[in-house]
Amino acid sequence: MKVIMLAAALLLTAAQSQLLCGQETKTEEAVKCTVEHLDKSWNLAVKSVVTKEVTKEALGDTKFNPAKKFVEIRITLEFADEAASPKEMKRRFVTESNMPKVGEVALKEPQTQLWLFDGDGVELKKFEPWSLEGEITGVQGDAFRVVIYCDPELFKKTKKIDLRPASK
């Protein structure tokens, strides 16, 4: 009986270590992700949140020597119902590389940003999406993904992620 219990414990430990050693980590339990503002406006819901640590030699025009570690945050958003205005919504999701530079004319609509909060609800930082995957269709059941890169030390402090329009 002891041998069976020991074998079961070893198998369970091996299975758990394989799960923990994987690069991708589901963060729905550790970091809460909300889209209340986007749900009210465009019927969007969070389908999944996946994070993994990555090493990048460059992000856009910025090069890193040596390469720098980031936490890649991938939030998949799904249309819970038809969006009232998919065209307007597409204008509100602008990636970092397409944001106006200093001295250029500002965008007319507030853009969607990813806000990071600590456990007390204090804003740590705001990000524009680094990239978008999929098409923003506005059709019920369709999904698209928002990708952000964050400093690992900052992400350790993060307890809540909220996608919302930029504040003015």
Tell how strand 112-117 and strand 160-165 pair up. Answer: antiparallel
Q: Which residues of 60-87 are buried (b: 16+ CB within 10 A; e: fewer)?
A: eeeeeeeebebbbbbbbbebeeebeebe
* C-alpha span between 42 and 54 (Å, rounded): 31
Q: What is the DSSP letter of 97?
A: G
pLDDT tens digits in sequence order for the chain, 168 residues long: 433 333 333 333 333 333 333 344 444 446 888 888 777 777 888 999 999 999 999 888 889 999 999 999 999 999 999 887 788 878 788 776 666 566 666 666 667 889 999 999 999 999 888 889 999 898 999 999 999 999 999 999 999 999 888 765
Helix then strand count (H, E) for the chain reads: 4, 9
pTM: 0.73
Q: What is the DSSP letter of 110?
A: P
* Contact call for residues 116 and 80 (beta carbons, < 8 A): no
79-100 per-position pLDDT tens digit: 999 887 788 878 788 776 666 5
* C-alpha span between 28 and 77 (Å, rounded): 13
